[in-house]
Amino acid sequence: MSGRFITMEGGEGAGKSTMMDRVADWLAGSGHRVIRTREPGGTELAEQLRDMLLDRDNLLLSEKAELLLMFAARAQHLDELIRPALARGDWVLCDRFTDATWAYQGGGRRLPAEDIAALESLVHGDLQPDLTLLLDLPVEQGLQRASNRSRADRFELESNGFFQRVRNAYLERAAAFPERFAVIDAAPGVDQVWAQIRLVLEERLTS
């Protein structure tokens, strides 16, 4: 028996954390052993890389180094946590994965698609999520929600144009892989967002 790999994606203020809680509870309630994790990070070494990537004082970090660090953290996360968990039949619920790299480094920073594709193939050419929940929200609305939080990280300091490109890249990924993605309207209240997600989980995971 092999577990399933579910990822949650979305821009700033889309409400990923709240929905991660609900999805984890729902999966556990369905009798699965659930490993909840996040990217960048998820293991001790990968979390050290996360700190470097998000630290807003790391002004000199180059775009290419950022891209490679993302995939270095991902390789460690996959090798140390995700692959072993799936192999023993656990379900893995991950806050962001490679679609976020396509959105932030590809869309936001406009890094070449062929570079991202080469790294994706090198690091997990054999493994893709079984289901990706994309919480979609107009950029202005997301930033307004996110502005109530603590000190912004290195990415949250970017411009509105950056976040618009992130959103567009996410929606392009969803259009390119409709069988894996479910686009969730994250604009309404928590219970309405959750109702959409629960429907997706029931339709796609209980077959």
Residues at the interface with its own copies (CB under 8 A): 43-45, 48, 52, 58, 60-62, 64-65, 68-69, 71-73, 75-76, 79-80, 115, 118-119, 122-123
Question: 125-150 burial by CB neighbour count: b if 16+ within 10 A, else e?
Answer: eeeebbbbbbbbbebeebbeeeeeee
Min dist. Cβ of residue 114 to its own copies (A): 9
**With respect to its own copies, which residue has the nearer C-beta, 68 or 190?**
68
Tokens of 177: 């892989």
**122 versus 195: smaller Cβ distance to its own copies:** 122
Q: Tell me the closest approach of the beta carbon of residue 48 to its own copies, in angstroms.
A: 7
Q: Which amino acid is at 100?
A: A
Our CB check for its own copies shows the closer of 45 and 171 to be 45
What is the closest distance, in whole angstroms, from the C-beta atom of residue 75 to its own copies in the complex? 4
Q: Where are the beta strands (DSSP E) in the chain?
A: 5-10, 34-38, 91-95, 131-136, 181-185
Question: From the CB of 154, what's the least distance to its own copies, in Å?
Answer: 12
Relative to beta strand 34-38, strand 5-10 is unpaired
